[in-house]
Amino acid sequence: MPDLWMPGATRLDVGDHAPTDGGPPKAIGHITWDVNATAAKPADLIPYERLVDWFGRNPAGKPSAPTALWDPFTGRVTQFLPANSRSKSLADSAGGTRTNRAGDVVLQFEALFFPYCRVNGKVYPRLIDTPCLGWPAINAWTRSWGVPDRWPMGRPVDFVSRRNEEVWEEEAGWYAHAQVPENNHQDPGSWPAFTTELEEDMTPDQAKQLADLAAAVKRIEASMARKPWTYMGEGETRDAYSYLRDTERAVKSLGATGLTPAQSDALAKKVADLLAARLQA
């Protein structure tokens, strides 16, 4: 049986577990959208801890708790309900489809995000503009529960609602909040692409390890983008070879914990190509 609690996530069980109704397994993408900002007037992102408290501890927030809250800027995930319980983030009108229960699982993820949020001085118009740290582990865990890597009504690309109850009832996969019957929300507006074939055979633990390494690579890229990197940049205490050597060790450590040789080789080549391209720039 897959893990009821996502590996690597913080567990904050709100209780009130209830079974789902069975049927095509689903995952739902939401954004918290707790501030209305614009390109002209961006706003600072609400602290992650405040939303954890809202969904996990506040009597007013618990009735709308999702399966988990995801911070795409840090990769943090806090899970409020086990995978085999319905969560509560969807509106559910009497007499229609039981939206929060309409599948073998209905895994709901609230991404900590609103359009034109500001983090460390940078403004992010769309969720997919964020680093999306932690997404590979989420994708791997939902896949372990039988949710296929597909959007039956299309991957969200805007804030336009598109709903079809027949598709919802009959097809497994990922749905935007804007695609769920009986709901009037328009989020999430965008969502990261499914992970590549490199991760397809990984366990959630392995996917988290890969996500951690990918985050380190993103930090290297960000550092390079701020200032061209030479053989030994200004203020650097280590040379380029040292960075390459440490990266190779990190990749090998992933292989030692369960990645196949092909996966390790593919990841090593990807990282090496990135660093080599920067060195040659």
Closest CA to 181 of 65, 105, 95, 68: 95
Structure confidence at residue 1 (pLDDT): 79
Structural contact between residues 86 and 105, judged by C-beta atoms closer than 8 angstroms: no
**Residue ranges making up the domain that contains 143:** 10-194
Residue 124 inside a domain? The answer is yes
pLDDT in tens, 93-120: 988 899 999 999 999 999 999 999 999 9
Residue 159 inside a domain? The answer is yes
- Give residue 197's pLDDT band: very low, low, confident or very high (50, 70, 90): very low
User: Dihedral of CA 195/217/131/67: which sign?
Assistant: positive
Domain boundary among the residues 164, 194, 224 is at 194
Structure confidence at residue 273 (pLDDT): 65
Residue 3 inside a domain? The answer is no
3-class DSSP state for residue 265? helix
User: What is the edge-to-edge ordering of all strands in the sheet holding 43-44?
Assistant: 43-44, 117-119, 122-124
User: Is it the case that residue 53 has pLDDT exceeding 80?
Assistant: yes
User: Is it the case that residue 198 has pLDDT exceeding 50?
Assistant: no
Structure confidence at residue 95 (pLDDT): 85
Q: What percentage of the chain reaches a pLDDT higher than 70? A: 71
User: Is it the case that residue 228 has pLDDT exceeding 60?
Assistant: no
Q: What percentage of the chain reaches a pLDDT higher than 90? A: 68
Shared domain check, 146 and 46: yes
3-class DSSP state for residue 144? helix
User: Is it the case that residue 281 has pLDDT exceeding 90?
Assistant: no
Structure confidence at residue 205 (pLDDT): 65
Shared domain check, 164 and 217: no
User: Is it the case that residue 221 has pLDDT exceeding 80?
Assistant: no
Structural contact between residues 194 and 139, judged by C-beta atoms closer than 8 angstroms: yes
Shared domain check, 66 and 184: yes
Question: Residue 147 maps to which CATH number?
Answer: 3.40.80.10
Residue 207 inside a domain? The answer is yes
* 58-65 CB contacts, 8 Å cutoff, 24+ apart: 62/14, 62/16, 62/88, 63/88, 64/88, 64/89, 65/14, 65/89
Shared domain check, 254 and 214: yes
**Distance between CA atoms of residues 267 and 105, nearest Å:** 32
Check residues 197 and 255 and name the one with the higher pLDDT: 255
Using a 10 angstrom Cβ sphere, with 0-12 exposed, 13-18 middle and 19 or more buried, the burial of residue 84 is middle
Shared domain check, 203 and 95: no
Check residues 197 and 123 and name the one with the higher pLDDT: 123
CA-atom Rg of the chain in angstroms: 20
Q: Which of 71-85, 106-120, 142-156, 201-215 shows the lowest per-residue confidence on average (mean pLDDT)?
A: 201-215
Mean pLDDT (whole number) for 188-216: 70
Residue 1 inside a domain? The answer is no
Domain boundary among the residues 147, 163, 194 is at 194
Shared domain check, 153 and 47: yes
User: Is it the case that residue 229 has pLDDT exceeding 50?
Assistant: no
Domain boundary among the residues 161, 194, 227 is at 194
Shared domain check, 231 and 180: no
Mean pLDDT (whole number) for 248-274: 62
End-to-end CA distance of the chain: 49
Residue 94 inside a domain? The answer is yes
Q: What average pLDDT does the structure give for the chain? A: 86
pLDDT in tens, 57-72: 999 999 999 999 999 9
Residue 5 inside a domain? The answer is no
* Structural domain count of the chain: 2
Mean pLDDT (whole number) for 37-47: 98
Shared domain check, 168 and 206: no
Global pTM value: 0.72
Structure confidence at residue 184 (pLDDT): 95
Residue 4 inside a domain? The answer is no
Shared domain check, 250 and 172: no
